[in-house]
Amino acid sequence: MTRRSASTATSGEALPALITDTEALAALCARLRQERFVTVDTEFMRERTYWPELCLVQLAGETEVAEVDALAPDLDLTPLGELMADEAVTKVFHAARQDVEIFLLKFGAVPKPLFDTQIAAMVAGYGDQVSYDALCRSLAGVQIDKAHRFSDWSARPLSSAQLAYAAADVTHLRKIYTALDAKLRREGRLAWVAEEMAALADPATYRQDPETAWERLRPRTGNRRFLGVLKAVTAWREREAQRINIPRQRLVKDETLLEIAATTPSTVADLTRARGISEGFAKGRSGTGLLAAIQAGRELPDDALPEAPKDRNFPPASPALVALLKVLLAAKSEEHHVAPKLLASGDDLDRLAGGDGADVPALHGWRRDVFGEAALALKTGQLALGVDGKRIKLIPAG
């Protein structure tokens, strides 16, 4: 069934159709598969679960806007999955990562082809991680009301105000996309955006590997036995949180895992002494599993113990050289109207300054042409920096 609310959005326009049955969804997706592009957004809940709970999907073609109630009884989302897989229709998102992860979990594949307007805006010179609100103001000429940003999207029925808010996230995205696409075509930068989309379209980007989860805790020690226990208990937490579908931090906090890796409790009584571990937890199934993981970490043979993450396996950088590279980065960003963080990260600059063999993104693809070659020239004395009025000037040396 397709329902249309008699209420209107704040703009005075009627609310888009709310799709609640499979037949209406199939008809909508069939129409949208005739479009050149579809703008997409989702509303979901994740505060109380490990896996995101999809609540609402907003879709807009060049003329049609609709919202899909993903929690509607008996609704089969298969037609939506087929639309997401149709390579003849570009799927346009803003800050797509969480939305793409949801579709990957739901349908087993990343929507393709993808276009992320946040990434495109960075390439087009609108700044680092520019917000949807900012692009609406600058490219669509509208101000977004974010009053319902923290709504409970799992509660039913959804209010007219919620539906109007959600629809705005795809309605104005059409104008933003067409403006960015036209600008990037004029400037010959669509290939730059495509290069950035490769990671976003790679399913491995969203894969949660329990065996590497410990690295996110950034332990400040090289004690490999400690790291072995930490790896074991963090992998256990990831799997257990997935099994019972609760956020990992709600199951056991990071600081508790670090304490457990240091103290290696072996009994229920010992485990209850760790911060945040209750007696009920320690005596239950989760506590039993955690104690087993601690024991497994203690019993790892020496040659199986992990090494400390080598985040900085390059020589220390000269602060003065890093500062010069930052100035060059700002100058190149200004010259080419592209966000500095998209050209080079702080880690890129440290590694460029610290060693001659640095293999960083700034030295590959379009980034090398825009910034990397000049950075190497500056480092080797073939380029100098000067000032011309209020702008930085690049001066070939020698």
- What would the pLDDT profile of 85-127 be if each residue is shown by its tens digit? 999 999 999 999 999 999 999 999 999 999 999 999 999 999 9
- Going by pLDDT thresholds of 50, 70 and 90, the confidence category of residue 314 is low
Q: Quick one: CA dihedral 360, 192, 110, 53, positive or negative?
A: positive
Lowest mean pLDDT among 146-155, 246-255, 364-373: 146-155
- The residues pairing with 42 across neighbouring beta strands, listed in sequence order, are 57
Alpha-carbon Rg for the chain in angstroms: 25
Query: d(Cα 38, Cα 60) in Å, to the nearest integer?
Result: 5
pTM of the predicted protein model: 0.88
Least confident of 8-22, 155-169, 285-299, 383-397: 8-22
Q: Strands, DSSP E only, in the chain?
A: 2-3, 17-19, 37-45, 53-60, 65-69, 90-93, 114-116, 383-388, 391-396
Arithmetic mean of pLDDT over the chain:
92
The CB density around residue 243, as the number of other CB atoms within 10 Å, is: 13
Rounded distance, CA 38 to CA 362, Å? 32
- In this prediction, residue 44 carries a pLDDT of 96
For residue 375, what are the contacts with CB-CB under 8 A and spacing of at least 6?
A: 325, 328, 329, 344, 352, 362, 363
Q: Binning pLDDT at 50, 70 and 90, where does residue 9 land?
A: very low
Read off the pLDDT band of 272 (50, 70, 90). Answer: very high
The two structure tokens encoding residue 74: 């008996």
- How many helices (H) and strands (E) the chain has is answered by 18, 9
Task: Report the alpha-carbon distance of residue 37 to residue 176 in Å, rounded.
Answer: 12
With residue 293 as reference, give the H or E element that holds it.
helix 285-298
For 273-285, the pLDDT digits (tens) are 999 999 999 999 9
Rounded to 5 degrees, φ, ψ at 142 are -130, 155
CA–CA gap between residue 269 and residue 377 (Å, rounded) = 62
**pLDDT beyond 60 at 5:** no
